[in-house]
């Protein structure tokens, strides 16, 4: 367990010295927290926003994080908030994604006011790109699907699109403009969410893996068993992303899907919108960093960066924005998307004191705010969210738990 020293320094810069730091500094790894209202397992974006929401409701909350807060998928993602480009067959899921996208602007404002971090939320929209007739036909089909679903999108002539986005390749032949797909800097977002947790009194325990859920003789969850001892809790929320199924006693199946991303640095951003082709997406940060992603690989917990994948991403990115070829710096990384067998999140109560908030797969940055809202509602005893059936974590259970 280490001190969140960076966090503390930052929050002190913003708020002045704290008389009573909440970040836990146990001597030599000994556990100092023995009891809390709620333990959130995992300090990714989902865990941080859930903890923040529960703290706001007056619960005493502890995040227990295996390594460092906000350093896994939530750090390694691209930050697209793309309910429409990612729309699948389920209307309920689409509505959930739109609901969460609509929470991001307010969240960004709240976080800026609370902890002074601008998370670079932007609603400039997304261009879906075609490079040949077949891809242009596919875009026309997407436009018709969007119209049928009542979603806003518009086919734009390539020349007009290039006037909007001068960095676009002259090889683009057709463009579908999707104004409702937005973006955020996910690294800033998870950092701000962790700072906000700290400011709201959430205790953050790092470098402390949870080994298993703890049950009493009546089989009720009573806490978590960590490498530094047991923490008793009135409620346990599993937000451990791709590693969720490794926690003893947590039976929701979640497996990692690796994604590699190439980041290149330009003097200025080559586009305002997110640009998506059949082969890659290009997301430009306002400081000139450009992310080209991302691969989809079912290779277990392997996070290695592979040269051939990076080469393919560079080629795909240059097809979209040719000036990426003159980038002067860069980096590549890999992250693990937490996927359930049906690709949908598992959010909901498993038993009286156990809640799942995991399996967000390709859309965890997008869906983290609505996840926090759903978990907050569950613990308050609100009426179930309209997506509760779709998200039911018991749907994979062989028994007939699933409603």
Binding site for ligand FAD (CB under 6 A): 41-47, 64-67, 71-74, 76-80, 209-210, 239-243, 247, 259, 261, 293-294, 335-338, 358, 360-366
CA distances to 167, 355, 364 from 252, in Å: 44, 11, 17
Smallest separation (angstroms) from ligand FAD to the CB of 133: 29
> What single DSSP character describes residue 297?
B
Structural contact between residues 213 and 69, judged by C-beta atoms closer than 8 angstroms: no
Q: Structure tokens of 165?
A: 């986005």
Nearer to ligand FAD, 136 or 237 (CB): 237
The nearer residue to ligand FAD, 161 or 240, going by C-beta atoms, is 240
Residue whose CB is less far from ligand FAD, 47 or 376? 47
- Least Cβ distance, residue 173 to ligand FAD (angstroms): 25
User: At CA 385, angle to CA 382 and CA 391, rounded to 5?
Assistant: 130
Smallest gap from residue 265 Cβ to ligand FAD (A)? 18
Which residues neighbour 380 within 8 Å (Cβ) at sequence distance 6 or greater? 57
Q: Is 350 helix (H, G, I), strand (E, B) or coil?
A: strand
User: In terms of CB distance, is 11 or 77 closer to ligand FAD?
Assistant: 77
Nearest to 352 by CA among 169, 265, 222: 222
* Cβ 260 vs Cβ 337: under 8 Å: no
Q: State which residue, 136 or 259, has the beta carbon closest to ligand FAD.
A: 259
Q: In whole angstroms, how close is the CB of 301 to ligand FAD at the nearest point? A: 11
For residue 204, which of 75, 19, 373, 61 has the smallest C-alpha distance? 61
Alpha-helical runs (H) found in 37-90: 45-56, 73-76
When computed from its CA atoms, the radius of gyration of the chain, rounded to whole angstroms, is 21
Write down the least CB distance from residue 338 to ligand FAD, Å.
Answer: 6
- C-beta closer to ligand FAD: residue 158 or 366: 366
Q: How far is the CB of 160 from ligand FAD (least distance, A)?
A: 26
Taking the CA atoms of residue 207, residue 211, residue 216 and residue 218 in that order, the dihedral angle to the nearest 10 degrees is: 140
Q: Which is nearer to ligand FAD, 158 or 317 (CB)?
A: 317
**Of 202 and 239, which CB lies nearer to ligand FAD in the complex structure?**
239
Between 210 and 327, name the residue whose CB sits nearer to ligand FAD: 210
CA distance linking residue 7 with residue 331, whole number of Å: 25
The two most distant CA atoms of the chain are separated, in Å, by 69
- The Cβ of residue 376 has, within 10 Å, a number of other Cβ atoms equal to 18
With a CB cutoff of 8 Å and minimum separation 6, the contacts of 143 are: 153, 154, 155, 176
Least distance between ligand FAD and beta carbon 205 (Å): 9
Smallest separation (angstroms) from ligand FAD to the CB of 345? 8
**CB 80, CB 366: distance < 8 Å:** yes
- Cβ proximity to ligand FAD: between 136 and 226 the closer is 226
- Phi/psi at 40 (nearest 5 deg)? -105, 120
| Angstrom distance (rounded) from CA 19 to CA 127 | 49
* Min CB(316)–ligand FAD separation in Å: 14
- C-alpha to C-alpha distance for 289 and 333, rounded to whole angstroms: 14
For the bound state, the minimum distance from the C-beta of residue 138 to ligand FAD, rounded and expressed in Å, comes to 21
Q: State the Cα angle at 105 between 120 and 266, rounded to 5°.
A: 20
Nearest to ligand FAD of 293, 317 (CB atom): 293
To the nearest whole angstrom, how small is the minimum distance from the Cβ of residue 42 to ligand FAD? 3
């Amino acid at each position: 367990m280490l001190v969140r020293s960076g966090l503390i320094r930052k929050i002190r810069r913003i708020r002045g010295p704290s008389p009573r730091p909440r970040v836990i500094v146990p001597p030599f790894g000994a556990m100092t927290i023995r009891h809390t209202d709620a333990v959130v397992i995992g300090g990714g974006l989902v865990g941080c926003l859930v903890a923040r929401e529960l703290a706001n409701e007056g619960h005493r909350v502890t995040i227990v994080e295996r390594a460092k807060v906000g350093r896994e998928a939530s750090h390694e993602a691209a930050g697209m908030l793309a309910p429409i480009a990612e729309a699948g067959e389920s209307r309920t899921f689409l509505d959930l994604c739109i609901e969460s996208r609509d929470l991001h602007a307010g969240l960004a404002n709240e976080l800026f006011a609370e902890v002074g971090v601008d998370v670079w939320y932007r609603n400039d929209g997304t261009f879906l790109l075609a490079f040949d007739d077949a891809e242009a036909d596919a875009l026309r089909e997407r436009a018709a699907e969007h119209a049928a679903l009542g979603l806003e999108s518009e086919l734009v002539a390539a020349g007009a699109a290039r006037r909007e986005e001068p960095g676009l390749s002259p090889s683009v032949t057709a463009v579908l403009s999707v104004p409702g797909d937005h973006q955020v800097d996910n690294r800033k977002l998870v950092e701000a969410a962790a700072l906000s947790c700290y400011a709201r009194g959430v205790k953050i325990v790092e470098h402390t893996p949870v080994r298993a859920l703890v049950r009493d003789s009546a089989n009720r969850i009573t806490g978590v068993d960590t490498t530094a001892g047991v923490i008793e809790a009135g409620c346990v929320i599993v937000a451990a992303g791709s590693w969720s199924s490794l926690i003893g006693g947590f039976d929701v199946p979640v497996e990692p899907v690796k994604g590699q991303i190439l980041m290149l640095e330009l003097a200025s951003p080559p586009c305002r919108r997110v640009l998506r082709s059949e082969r890659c997406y290009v997301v430009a940060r306002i400081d000139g960093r450009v992310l080209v992603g991302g691969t989809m690989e079912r290779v277990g917990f392997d996070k290695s960066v592979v040269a051939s994948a990076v080469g393919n991403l560079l080629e795909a990115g240059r097809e979209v924005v040719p000036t990426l070829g003159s980038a002067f710096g860069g980096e590549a990384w890999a992250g693990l998307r937490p996927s359930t067998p049906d690709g949908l999140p598992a959010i909901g109560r498993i038993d009286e004191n156990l809640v799942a908030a995991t399996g967000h797969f390709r859309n965890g940055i997008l869906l983290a705010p609505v996840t926090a809202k759903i978990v907050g509602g569950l613990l308050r005893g609100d009426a179930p969210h309209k997506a509760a059936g779709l998200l039911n974590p018991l749907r994979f259970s062989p028994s007939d738990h699933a409603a």
